A and B are shown apart, each in its own frame.
Chain A
Protein backbone atom coordinates (compact mmCIF):
# COMPACT_ATOMS: atom_id res chain seq x y z
CA UNK A 1 0.00 0.00 0.00
CA UNK A 2 2.75 2.38 0.88
CA UNK A 3 4.50 1.59 -2.39
CA UNK A 4 1.29 2.18 -4.37
CA UNK A 5 0.81 5.62 -2.77
CA UNK A 6 4.38 6.39 -3.58
CA UNK A 7 3.77 5.36 -7.22
CA UNK A 8 0.69 7.57 -7.45
CA UNK A 9 2.68 10.52 -6.23
CA UNK A 10 5.43 9.75 -8.68
CA UNK A 11 2.92 9.52 -11.50
CA UNK A 12 1.35 12.84 -10.56
CA UNK A 13 4.75 14.50 -10.38
CA UNK A 14 5.76 12.97 -13.71
CA UNK A 15 2.52 14.12 -15.28
CA UNK A 16 2.97 17.69 -14.11
CA UNK A 17 6.56 17.67 -15.23
CA UNK A 18 5.51 16.48 -18.65
CA UNK A 19 2.78 19.11 -18.79
CA UNK A 20 5.25 21.76 -17.80
CA UNK A 21 7.49 20.54 -20.58
CA UNK A 22 4.90 21.23 -23.25
CA UNK A 23 3.48 24.41 -21.83
CA UNK A 24 3.50 26.90 -24.70
CA UNK A 25 3.94 29.85 -22.35
CA UNK A 26 7.71 29.83 -22.28
CA UNK A 27 8.87 33.11 -23.77
CA UNK A 28 12.28 33.65 -25.24
CA UNK A 29 13.83 37.07 -25.51
CA UNK A 30 16.78 38.46 -27.38
CA UNK A 31 18.25 41.95 -27.22
CA UNK A 32 20.63 43.73 -29.53
CA UNK A 33 22.08 47.21 -29.67
CA UNK A 34 21.30 49.14 -32.85
CA UNK A 35 22.52 52.40 -34.33
CA UNK A 36 20.92 55.72 -35.19
CA UNK A 37 22.40 58.63 -37.16
CA UNK A 38 21.50 62.19 -38.11
CA UNK A 39 23.23 65.16 -39.69
CA UNK A 40 22.26 68.63 -38.61
CA UNK A 41 22.76 71.60 -40.91
CA UNK A 42 22.55 75.13 -39.67
CA UNK A 43 20.56 77.63 -41.66
CA UNK A 44 22.53 79.12 -44.50
CA UNK A 45 23.27 82.82 -44.50
CA UNK A 46 23.63 85.00 -47.55
CA UNK A 47 25.05 88.50 -47.59
CA UNK A 48 26.06 90.94 -50.32
CA UNK A 49 29.65 92.01 -49.88
CA UNK A 50 29.63 94.35 -52.82
CA UNK A 51 26.96 95.46 -55.27
CA UNK A 52 27.22 95.34 -59.03
CA UNK A 53 28.92 98.49 -60.34
CA UNK A 54 29.09 99.23 -64.07
CA UNK A 55 31.20 102.37 -63.61
CA UNK A 56 31.15 105.60 -65.60
CA UNK A 57 30.27 105.74 -69.27
CA UNK A 58 28.89 107.92 -72.01
CA UNK A 59 25.99 106.70 -74.10
CA UNK A 60 26.63 108.29 -77.46
CA UNK A 61 23.97 108.91 -80.07
CA UNK A 62 23.04 105.27 -80.59
CA UNK A 63 23.52 103.79 -77.19
CA UNK A 64 24.53 100.16 -76.70
CA UNK A 65 25.47 97.90 -73.83
CA UNK A 66 28.01 97.49 -71.06
CA UNK A 67 28.79 93.86 -70.40
CA UNK A 68 30.20 93.16 -66.96
CA UNK A 69 31.49 89.63 -66.46
CA UNK A 70 31.53 87.84 -63.08
CA UNK A 71 35.32 87.96 -63.24
CA UNK A 72 35.25 91.77 -63.40
CA UNK A 73 36.01 92.31 -67.07
CA UNK A 74 33.97 95.10 -68.65
CA UNK A 75 33.33 95.79 -72.32
CA UNK A 76 31.01 98.10 -74.19
CA UNK A 77 29.09 97.85 -77.42
CA UNK A 78 27.48 100.37 -79.73
CA UNK A 79 28.37 103.98 -79.14
CA UNK A 80 28.81 103.50 -75.42
CA UNK A 81 32.28 104.40 -74.28
CA UNK A 82 33.68 103.48 -70.88
CA UNK A 83 35.62 105.65 -68.51
CA UNK A 84 38.33 103.16 -67.75
CA UNK A 85 39.47 105.11 -64.73
CA UNK A 86 36.18 104.59 -62.96
CA UNK A 87 35.59 101.73 -60.64
CA UNK A 88 33.50 98.77 -61.74
CA UNK A 89 32.90 95.43 -60.09
CA UNK A 90 30.62 92.43 -60.19
CA UNK A 91 28.33 91.80 -57.26
CA UNK A 92 29.86 89.58 -54.63
CA UNK A 93 27.69 87.44 -52.38
CA UNK A 94 29.01 85.65 -49.33
CA UNK A 95 27.33 82.37 -48.47
CA UNK A 96 27.83 80.37 -45.30
CA UNK A 97 26.33 77.14 -44.04
CA UNK A 98 27.19 73.54 -43.45
CA UNK A 99 30.65 72.51 -44.63
CA UNK A 100 30.50 70.98 -48.10
CA UNK A 101 26.85 71.89 -48.45
CA UNK A 102 25.49 72.20 -51.97
CA UNK A 103 23.68 75.21 -53.36
CA UNK A 104 22.11 76.47 -56.55
CA UNK A 105 21.81 80.04 -57.78
CA UNK A 106 18.72 81.63 -59.26
CA UNK A 107 19.41 84.99 -60.90
CA UNK A 108 16.87 87.66 -61.84
CA UNK A 109 15.87 87.95 -65.47
CA UNK A 110 16.06 91.74 -65.47
CA UNK A 111 16.46 94.68 -63.13
CA UNK A 112 15.47 98.28 -63.77
CA UNK A 113 17.88 101.06 -62.82
CA UNK A 114 16.53 104.55 -62.22
CA UNK A 115 18.24 107.93 -61.96
CA UNK A 116 15.82 109.20 -59.36
CA UNK A 117 13.74 110.85 -62.04
CA UNK A 118 12.19 109.72 -65.28
CA UNK A 119 15.17 107.93 -66.81
CA UNK A 120 15.65 104.21 -66.63
CA UNK A 121 18.09 101.56 -67.83
CA UNK A 122 17.64 97.82 -67.72
CA UNK A 123 20.16 95.20 -66.69
CA UNK A 124 19.67 91.81 -68.34
CA UNK A 125 21.58 88.61 -69.01
CA UNK A 126 22.79 88.08 -65.49
CA UNK A 127 25.62 85.62 -65.13
CA UNK A 128 27.31 84.20 -62.11
CA UNK A 129 30.41 82.39 -61.06
CA UNK A 130 29.96 79.60 -60.17
CA UNK A 131 27.59 79.27 -63.07
CA UNK A 132 24.48 77.62 -61.64
CA UNK A 133 25.55 76.45 -58.22
CA UNK A 134 28.35 74.99 -56.22
CA UNK A 135 29.50 73.57 -52.97
CA UNK A 136 30.56 75.28 -49.79
CA UNK A 137 34.11 74.61 -48.81
CA UNK A 138 35.25 72.65 -45.80
CA UNK A 139 34.72 75.68 -43.61
CA UNK A 140 31.17 76.13 -44.87
CA UNK A 141 31.68 79.31 -46.88
CA UNK A 142 31.51 80.25 -50.52
CA UNK A 143 31.64 83.39 -52.64
CA UNK A 144 29.42 84.04 -55.64
CA UNK A 145 30.23 86.69 -58.26
CA UNK A 146 27.46 88.09 -60.44
CA UNK A 147 27.67 90.18 -63.58
CA UNK A 148 25.19 91.31 -66.19
CA UNK A 149 24.53 93.44 -69.23
CA UNK A 150 23.50 97.07 -68.87
CA UNK A 151 21.37 98.29 -71.75
CA UNK A 152 22.13 101.95 -72.44
CA UNK A 153 19.72 103.97 -74.51
CA UNK A 154 20.64 106.41 -77.26
CA UNK A 155 21.63 109.68 -75.66
CA UNK A 156 20.86 108.19 -72.27
CA UNK A 157 20.35 110.95 -69.77
CA UNK A 158 23.23 111.91 -67.54
CA UNK A 159 23.04 110.83 -63.91
CA UNK A 160 23.52 108.12 -61.31
CA UNK A 161 21.36 105.08 -61.87
CA UNK A 162 20.67 102.46 -59.25
CA UNK A 163 18.36 99.57 -58.56
CA UNK A 164 18.16 96.36 -56.59
CA UNK A 165 18.22 92.75 -57.62
CA UNK A 166 17.03 89.59 -55.93
CA UNK A 167 19.21 86.51 -56.00
CA UNK A 168 17.90 83.23 -54.64
CA UNK A 169 20.30 80.65 -53.26
CA UNK A 170 18.83 77.20 -52.82
CA UNK A 171 20.82 75.44 -50.19
CA UNK A 172 20.95 71.68 -49.70
Chain B
Protein backbone atom coordinates (compact mmCIF):
# COMPACT_ATOMS: atom_id res chain seq x y z
CA UNK B 1 0.00 0.00 0.00
CA UNK B 2 2.77 2.36 0.94
CA UNK B 3 4.42 1.67 -2.47
CA UNK B 4 1.28 2.05 -4.50
CA UNK B 5 0.35 5.43 -3.17
CA UNK B 6 3.46 7.39 -4.31
CA UNK B 7 3.28 5.81 -7.76
CA UNK B 8 -0.34 6.68 -8.15
CA UNK B 9 0.25 10.19 -6.91
CA UNK B 10 3.18 10.68 -9.29
CA UNK B 11 1.31 9.44 -12.32
CA UNK B 12 -1.63 11.59 -11.43
CA UNK B 13 0.53 14.65 -10.83
CA UNK B 14 2.45 14.30 -14.08
CA UNK B 15 -0.74 13.71 -15.96
CA UNK B 16 -2.37 16.72 -14.39
CA UNK B 17 0.55 19.02 -15.09
CA UNK B 18 0.81 17.96 -18.70
CA UNK B 19 -2.91 18.26 -19.14
CA UNK B 20 -2.84 21.73 -17.61
CA UNK B 21 -0.04 22.76 -19.95
CA UNK B 22 -1.95 21.43 -22.93
CA UNK B 23 -5.10 23.16 -21.84
CA UNK B 24 -3.26 26.49 -21.57
CA UNK B 25 -1.84 26.07 -25.03
CA UNK B 26 -5.25 25.13 -26.31
CA UNK B 27 -6.76 28.24 -24.77
CA UNK B 28 -4.12 30.56 -26.22
CA UNK B 29 -3.97 28.86 -29.56
CA UNK B 30 -0.26 29.49 -29.95
CA UNK B 31 1.29 26.09 -29.62
CA UNK B 32 1.67 24.73 -33.13
CA UNK B 33 2.75 21.31 -31.98
CA UNK B 34 -0.37 20.86 -29.93
CA UNK B 35 -2.92 22.77 -31.95
CA UNK B 36 -6.00 20.94 -33.05
CA UNK B 37 -6.71 22.56 -36.40
CA UNK B 38 -7.99 20.02 -38.88
CA UNK B 39 -6.47 20.77 -42.25
CA UNK B 40 -7.63 19.44 -45.59
CA UNK B 41 -5.43 19.89 -48.66
CA UNK B 42 -7.13 22.20 -51.13
CA UNK B 43 -5.95 22.04 -54.73
CA UNK B 44 -4.83 25.40 -56.10
CA UNK B 45 -3.94 24.06 -59.52
CA UNK B 46 -3.81 20.62 -61.02
CA UNK B 47 -0.75 18.82 -62.31
CA UNK B 48 -0.41 19.84 -65.95
CA UNK B 49 2.05 18.45 -68.47
CA UNK B 50 1.14 20.88 -71.24
CA UNK B 51 1.26 20.01 -74.92
CA UNK B 52 3.59 17.20 -75.82
CA UNK B 53 4.69 16.05 -79.25
CA UNK B 54 5.84 12.49 -79.67
CA UNK B 55 9.04 12.37 -81.67
CA UNK B 56 8.83 8.74 -82.78
CA UNK B 57 5.25 7.60 -82.57
CA UNK B 58 6.13 3.90 -82.53
CA UNK B 59 8.14 4.22 -79.34
CA UNK B 60 7.02 5.01 -75.81
CA UNK B 61 8.10 8.16 -74.06
CA UNK B 62 7.89 10.02 -70.81
CA UNK B 63 8.03 13.49 -69.41
CA UNK B 64 8.66 14.47 -65.81
CA UNK B 65 7.40 17.66 -64.23
CA UNK B 66 9.16 18.64 -61.03
CA UNK B 67 7.74 20.31 -57.96
CA UNK B 68 8.78 23.76 -59.22
CA UNK B 69 6.69 23.88 -62.39
CA UNK B 70 9.70 22.71 -64.36
CA UNK B 71 10.19 19.91 -66.86
CA UNK B 72 13.13 18.01 -65.48
CA UNK B 73 13.38 15.22 -68.05
CA UNK B 74 11.78 13.82 -71.15
CA UNK B 75 12.28 10.89 -73.43
CA UNK B 76 11.09 10.62 -77.03
CA UNK B 77 8.77 13.54 -76.54
CA UNK B 78 9.05 17.23 -77.15
CA UNK B 79 7.28 19.78 -74.94
CA UNK B 80 5.67 22.15 -77.42
CA UNK B 81 3.82 24.59 -75.23
CA UNK B 82 0.69 24.70 -73.22
CA UNK B 83 0.66 25.08 -69.48
CA UNK B 84 3.19 23.11 -67.49
CA UNK B 85 2.48 23.18 -63.77
CA UNK B 86 3.16 21.05 -60.77
CA UNK B 87 0.11 20.42 -58.64
CA UNK B 88 -0.28 22.88 -55.81
CA UNK B 89 -2.11 22.59 -52.52
CA UNK B 90 -2.74 24.84 -49.56
CA UNK B 91 -4.43 23.76 -46.38
CA UNK B 92 -8.10 24.44 -45.88
CA UNK B 93 -9.02 24.86 -42.21
CA UNK B 94 -12.39 26.48 -42.75
CA UNK B 95 -14.80 25.17 -40.22
CA UNK B 96 -12.19 22.96 -38.69
CA UNK B 97 -10.77 25.01 -35.85
CA UNK B 98 -8.64 27.50 -37.73
CA UNK B 99 -6.29 30.00 -36.14
CA UNK B 100 -9.08 32.29 -35.02
CA UNK B 101 -10.50 29.53 -32.88
CA UNK B 102 -9.23 28.28 -29.54
CA UNK B 103 -6.56 25.73 -30.21
CA UNK B 104 -6.28 26.73 -33.82
CA UNK B 105 -3.02 27.39 -35.63
CA UNK B 106 -1.64 28.40 -39.00
CA UNK B 107 0.74 25.53 -39.44
CA UNK B 108 0.89 21.84 -38.78
CA UNK B 109 3.72 19.41 -38.47
CA UNK B 110 3.69 17.00 -41.39
CA UNK B 111 4.51 13.38 -40.67
CA UNK B 112 4.10 12.07 -44.19
CA UNK B 113 2.52 12.87 -47.53
CA UNK B 114 1.30 9.98 -49.65
CA UNK B 115 0.38 10.54 -53.29
CA UNK B 116 -1.14 7.85 -55.44
CA UNK B 117 -0.43 7.20 -59.10
CA UNK B 118 -2.85 8.55 -61.66
CA UNK B 119 -4.45 7.10 -64.75
CA UNK B 120 -5.24 9.46 -67.59
CA UNK B 121 -7.97 8.71 -70.06
CA UNK B 122 -8.68 10.39 -73.35
CA UNK B 123 -8.88 9.73 -77.03
CA UNK B 124 -6.45 6.83 -77.00
CA UNK B 125 -4.93 4.26 -74.72
CA UNK B 126 -4.83 5.15 -71.04
CA UNK B 127 -1.64 6.70 -69.74
CA UNK B 128 -0.26 6.62 -66.23
CA UNK B 129 1.43 9.20 -64.06
CA UNK B 130 3.85 7.63 -61.63
CA UNK B 131 6.60 8.76 -59.31
CA UNK B 132 4.46 11.41 -57.68
CA UNK B 133 6.78 13.55 -55.61
CA UNK B 134 5.57 16.02 -52.99
CA UNK B 135 7.69 19.06 -52.18
CA UNK B 136 7.23 18.56 -48.44
CA UNK B 137 6.87 15.28 -46.62
CA UNK B 138 7.80 16.26 -43.09
CA UNK B 139 8.35 19.27 -40.90
CA UNK B 140 6.32 22.36 -40.38
CA UNK B 141 3.83 23.22 -43.09
CA UNK B 142 2.56 26.79 -43.09
CA UNK B 143 -0.46 25.53 -44.84
CA UNK B 144 -2.05 28.95 -45.40
CA UNK B 145 0.88 30.50 -47.26
CA UNK B 146 3.28 27.79 -48.37
CA UNK B 147 1.97 25.61 -51.20
CA UNK B 148 2.61 21.91 -51.04
CA UNK B 149 3.49 21.04 -54.63
CA UNK B 150 3.52 17.69 -56.38
CA UNK B 151 5.34 16.61 -59.52
CA UNK B 152 5.26 13.34 -61.42
CA UNK B 153 6.16 11.43 -64.57
CA UNK B 154 3.73 10.98 -67.44
CA UNK B 155 4.27 7.65 -69.19
CA UNK B 156 3.30 7.80 -72.86
CA UNK B 157 2.60 4.62 -74.78
CA UNK B 158 3.92 3.76 -78.21
CA UNK B 159 1.53 5.00 -80.89
CA UNK B 160 -0.31 7.16 -78.36
CA UNK B 161 -3.14 8.94 -80.13
CA UNK B 162 -3.22 12.70 -80.07
CA UNK B 163 -5.78 14.50 -77.97
CA UNK B 164 -6.54 15.65 -74.47
CA UNK B 165 -6.10 13.31 -71.53
CA UNK B 166 -7.05 13.82 -67.94
CA UNK B 167 -7.40 11.88 -64.73
CA UNK B 168 -7.31 12.06 -60.96
CA UNK B 169 -5.18 10.89 -58.08
CA UNK B 170 -5.36 11.13 -54.34
CA UNK B 171 -3.09 12.93 -51.94
CA UNK B 172 -3.13 12.23 -48.21
CA UNK B 173 -1.35 14.39 -45.67
CA UNK B 174 -0.53 12.98 -42.26
CA UNK B 175 0.21 15.56 -39.61
CA UNK B 176 0.32 16.19 -35.91
A residues within 8 Å of B by Cβ? Answer: 1, 4-5, 8-9, 11-12, 14-19, 21-22, 24-44, 98-99, 140, 171-172
Residues in B neighbouring A11, C-beta threshold 8 A: 8-9, 11-12
B16 to chain A, nearest CB (A): 6
B residues within 8 Å of A by Cβ? Answer: 1, 4-5, 7-16, 18-19, 21-22, 33-34, 38-43, 46-57, 80-82, 87, 89, 108, 111, 118, 120, 122, 124, 127, 129, 150, 152, 154, 156, 160-176
27 contacts between A and B (CB under 8 A): A4-B5, A8-B1, A9-B8, A11-B9, A15-B14, A22-B18, A27-B174, A30-B173, A34-B150, A34-B168, A34-B171, A35-B168, A36-B48, A36-B129, A37-B47, A37-B48, A37-B49, A37-B165, A38-B48, A38-B50, A39-B51, A39-B163, A42-B53, A43-B54, A43-B57, A140-B162, A172-B80
Smallest CB gap from A140: residue in B = B162
Residues in B neighbouring A19, C-beta threshold 8 A: 11, 14-15, 18
Smallest CB gap from B111: residue in A = A27
Interface of A is mostly: mixed
Residues in B neighbouring A24, C-beta threshold 8 A: 33-34, 176
A5 near B15: Cβ-Cβ < 8 Å = no
